[in-house]
Structures are given as structure tokens and as C-alpha cells.
């Protein structure tokens, strides 16, 4: 079994990875650092066929997402791997965790008002409500 650290490109990601590493060390498991590349990130990075010099295949796109996940990792003393996914982050993380029979998913929600969460949604909230395994929600000290 593994501990899934769901990261994005924010400063909270290193905190998520550290918390996942603590859990993995306690239960003698490995960490899978997962980044789901959203459609807007995909377009912003110029990875679409129309924007790129040469069309990107799905494996290249997943590899780019895995590199983004790797940016959150530094100095882990537990076995880990980085994983790139493409699609709706909450759905992709939940599906990946289920496929890996994850013991935990670790997330870090953005600090938003209740109204902000209602209007814009929350990946972390969706994972908390829909995952079939325990979810650890941790807040980073600084955003």
C-alpha cells in the first residue's frame, strides 16, 4: 500500500509531501506524489497540439505532470515516486488512490471563505467527501 500526496503548483505542496512522508515512515509504506494536470494548466503550458511545434502524446503530458510533482519533493527519506495525471484533479487523485489501494491521501486545501468554496469549489473538499480511503487534510503555515 502507498500514501498518496496530492500536490499542485503552490507552496503548500512541500508541506503535503512532508506529511505524507511522516505517515509512510510510520506505516512502512512508500509515497506517491501525484499531480493532476488540469485543462487550464495544459493550455497555459503550451502543451496543446495547436500551440506546440510538434504534437504531444499523452505519455509526454503525463511526464510533464510528473515533473511538476517532482518539484514538490526534496530530501525524502522514504521510498517515493512521482506520478503525473491528466484531468479533473479530484477525480483523478481519487481514481489513482483506489487503483493503488492507498492507505491515505494527503491534501492541503486553500484557505477560502465558505462563499469562495461554494462558488469556486475545492479539490481538497471533493477528495475529502468522495475518497474511499482516509484523507489527511493539513494546512501549511504560509500560503
| Residue pLDDT tens, the chain, 143 long | 999 999 998 888 999 999 999 999 999 999 999 999 887 776 666 655 555 556 567 787 888 899 999 999 988 999 999 999 999 999 999 999 999 999 999 998 876 666 555 544 588 889 999 999 999 998 866 44
Task: Evaluate whether residue 125 is within a structural domain.
Answer: yes
Query: What is the reported pLDDT for 120?
Result: 47
Q: How many domains does the chain have?
A: 1
142 found inside a domain = no
Beta partners for residue 112, in sequence order: none
Q: How far apart are CA 121 and CA 81, in angstroms?
A: 28
* Residue 143 within any structural domain of the chain: no
- What CA–CA distance (Å, rounded) separates 19 from 5? 8
Domain hosting 97: range is 2-137
> Is 34 within a domain?
yes
- Which CATH number goes with the domain that contains 34? 3.40.50.620
Length of the chain: 143
Q: Is residue 9 part of a domain?
A: yes
What number of other Cβ atoms are within 10 A of residue 74's Cβ?
Answer: 9
Instruction: Let me know if residue 58 belongs to a domain.
Output: yes
Amino acid at each position: 500500500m502507498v500514501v498518496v500526496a496530492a500536490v499542485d503548483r503552490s507552496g503548500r505542496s512541500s508541506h503535503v509531501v512532508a506529511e505524507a512522508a511522516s505517515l509512510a515512515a510510520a506505516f512502512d509504506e512508500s509515497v506517491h506524489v501525484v499531480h493532476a494536470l488540469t485543462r487550464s494548466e495544459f493550455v497555459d503550458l503550451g502543451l496543446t497540439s495547436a500551440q506546440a511545434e510538434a504534437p504531444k502524446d499523452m505519455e509526454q503530458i503525463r511526464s510533464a505532470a510528473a515533473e511538476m510533482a517532482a518539484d514538490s519533493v526534496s530530501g525524502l527519506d522514504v521510498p517515493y515516486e512521482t506520478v503525473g495525471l491528466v484531468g479533473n484533479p479530484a477525480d483523478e487523485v481519487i481514481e489513482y488512490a483506489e487503483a493503488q489501494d492507498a492507505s491515505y491521501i494527503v491534501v492541503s486545501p486553500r484557505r477560502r471563505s465558505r462563499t469562495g468554496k461554494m462558488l469556486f469549489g475545492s479539490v481538497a473538499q471533493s477528495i475529502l467527501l468522495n475518497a474511499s480511503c482516509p484523507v489527511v487534510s493539513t494546512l501549511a503555515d504560509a500560503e
